Structure 1
Amino acid sequence: MPGTGGEEALRQQYVLGEEIGHGRFGVVRRCYSAATGEALAVKSTPKAPLRDKSDPLDLALAEQEPKVHLLASAPPCSPHVVALHAAFEDAHAVHLVIDLCDGGDLFSLISARGRLLPEHEAARIAAQLASALAACHRRGVAHRDVKPDNLLFDAATGALKLGDFGSAEWFGDGRAMSGLVGTPYYVAPEVVAGREYGEKVDVWSAGVVLYMMLSGTVPFYGATAPEIFEAVLRGTLRFPPRAFASVSPEAKDLVRRMLCRDVSRRLSAEQVLRHPWIVSRGGNAVAD
């Protein structure tokens, strides 16, 4: 996989198209392989804004993203992980050529529906997400920013794919991770507390996503980031009757086991896949 040459080398191998998305640090454009015509996407992250920030962690994560993403998605990888096809880097930017997921993201799906997802659909999505996380964790990669915006759909197949490995970290040699990384509503309490942590932070975040799919709201709320963090640290999990009136006990049991403050008792991604609610409602996604 190319690792140098920057945008000039990128343009020699890919035809760049229109912008299809943007995030905190860069843009995503449609692109096409010059050799095969395959439609893909390229995520470009300029380094200058990251150097200007006071937190050097952002630049370090951007520079390590190609290595960690490749480790997570190298064949044979999970069909629910966005694959990295090529990487180009120079002094100015990092460019990652990835799967084109033009079916939108989970946040857009929920917003467009204007209503909650039925349990069978929420279970199918949760199963695919757990499958992606289990595959990453087996390779020693923690995503660390699981949220609806990073859960993308393949328009052709409808499959969910876990994308954006910009906050991901490798823990494969048994090392503990640290640092306040992630998005406030979805971040695990051990991350907020400033402790060292492991890959189960992803399961907590996935539990928040599941809670949101079932209820239309987040389990730990605050008007500001500090207030959200306080709510996460308290970890008081409630199922308001109005929001959860039609949600099955089995679904709520899985949420409880994913949003468990005691990390030793929190389910792993593999255990989520074996939960009775996922097995009975998740369909063939469990077998992926």
Structure 2
Amino acid sequence: MRQLFLPGHPKSVPMEIGLTLMANMGPRVPQIIKLLDWEDNKDHYIMVMKRPMPCIDLKIFVTLHGESLNEGTARKLIRQVIEAANVCIKHDVFHRDIKMENLLVNQDTMQVKLTDFRCGALMKKFAYEVFSGTKAYCPPEVTVNGRYHAKPRTVWSLGILLFMMVCEYYPTDHDLDLISKKSWTRPGLSQECCQMIFACLQSDPQQRINLEKMHLHDWFKVME
């Protein structure tokens, strides 16, 4: 198991535990699952986390809503996911596996919580060369040159997440080609939503929207 040394802890802890603790440092972060306790054994560890009730993962939530969400609902949810991603990076945590199955939704309050830091890593300025996470959310630079940076990769994952939330399916290569050219459309989606998808899913990572500025996009200014 990968280990991590944390200030205030006498010995190293499993990476997943350490990253979860780091992501929750400082003021309470409602968008990130809280670790209540853990037990580190020789060949395994146990994590006790606060389970929001009632809650289901985002994939099930979308399925129960007819396989896709309206823009208003998608906007409420992904705004919180963006906040969670930014908090993680602010605390030097790179989650690396933001996807529907790792997001819990409270059906009463519509509050989202990011879970499962098993694929995570510490933030670094230089490129990562080992992929960890879910292939469906993998950005093109990983297969093109085997290198990727934390923030552009996170933005790509958020773009894939948004696409699947409002379109019912995973984007095809043809979709991604049109999106990269900013010429993709879908009946029923606003221009602002399409532009948000364009901003996230550019094949060139340097052309993607800045993670810290995602919440300022025009799509989030649309009146409900």
With the shorter chain as reference, the TM-score category is 0.7 to 0.9
What is the Cα deviation at residue 157 of structure 1? 3.1
Give the residue type in structure 2 aligned to 1:138: K
Report SS of the residue matched to 2:156: helix
State the match for 1:111 in structure 2: 63
Q: 2:207 aligns with which of 243, 265, 277?
A: 265
**Contact kept? 1:101, 1:155, Cα under 8 Å:** no
**Contact kept? 1:171, 1:177, Cα under 8 Å:** no
Partners of 2:213 and 2:190 in 1: how far apart?
19
State the match for 1:95 in structure 2: 46
Name whichever of 149-158 and 248-257 sits farther off.
Answer: 149-158
**Contact kept? 1:211, 1:219, Cα under 8 Å:** yes
Q: 1:83 aligns with which of 31, 34, 41?
A: 34
Distance change >3 Å, CA 175–CA 97, structure 1 → 2? farther
**Contact kept? 1:191, 1:197, Cα under 8 Å:** no
Give the residue type in structure 1 aligned to 2:202: C
**Contact kept? 2:156, 2:200, Cα under 8 Å:** yes
What is the Cα deviation at residue 78 of structure 1? 2.6
Partners of 2:129 and 2:156 in 1: how far apart?
16
**Superimposed CA distance per residue, residues 23-55 of structure 1 (whole angstroms, 9 cap, x where no aligned partner):** xxxxxxxxxxxxxxxxxxxxxxxxxxxxxxxxx
How many pairs align? 210
Give the residue type in structure 2 aligned to 1:272: M
Give the residue type in structure 2 aligned to 1:236: D
State the match for 2:76 in structure 1: 124
Report SS of the residue matched to 1:199: helix
Report SS of the residue matched to 1:236: helix
What is the Cα deviation at residue 93 of structure 1? 0.9
Partners of 1:150 and 1:74 in 2: how far apart?
20
Report SS of the residue matched to 2:2: helix
Which structure 2 residues correspond to residues 1-288 of structure 1 after superposition, within 5 A?
59-60=1-2, 63-102=14-53, 103-154=55-106, 157-172=109-124, 174-193=125-144, 194-220=146-172, 231=173, 235-238=176-179, 244-280=186-222
Distance change >3 Å, CA 215–CA 235, structure 1 → 2? closer
Partners of 2:99 and 2:201 in 1: how far apart?
14
| Identity score, percent | 26
Give the residue type in structure 1 aligned to 2:207: R
Partners of 1:96 and 1:65 in 2: how far apart?
9
**Superimposed CA distance per residue, residues 161-186 of structure 1 (whole angstroms, 9 cap, x where no aligned partner):** 111111111115x3432312111211
Give the residue type in structure 1 aligned to 2:177: T
State the match for 2:7 in structure 1: none
**Superimposed CA distance per residue, residues 229-276 of structure 1 (whole angstroms, 9 cap, x where no aligned partner):** xx59x95245876xx200001001011111112222212322111101
Partners of 1:268 and 1:96 in 2: how far apart?
33
What is the Cα deviation at residue 200 of structure 1? 2.3
Question: Could you tell me the TM-score, scaled by structure 2's length?
Answer: 0.84
**Contact kept? 1:187, 1:205, Cα under 8 Å:** yes
Partners of 1:124 and 1:217 in 2: how far apart?
20
RMSD: 2.4
**Contact kept? 2:68, 2:167, Cα under 8 Å:** yes
Q: Which runs of 5+ in 2 are unaligned?
A: 4-12
Q: Which runs of 5+ in 1 are unaligned?
A: 1-58, 221-230, 284-288
What is the Cα deviation at residue 115 of structure 1? 4.0
**Superimposed CA distance per residue, residues 142-200 of structure 1 (whole angstroms, 9 cap, x where no aligned partner):** 1111110011023563301111111111115x343231211121111223331142232
Question: Could you tell me the TM-score, scaled by structure 1's length?
Answer: 0.66
Partners of 2:51 and 2:133 in 1: how far apart?
23
**Contact kept? 1:70, 1:84, Cα under 8 Å:** yes
Partners of 1:143 and 1:118 in 2: how far apart?
27
Partners of 1:163 and 1:155 in 2: how far apart?
17
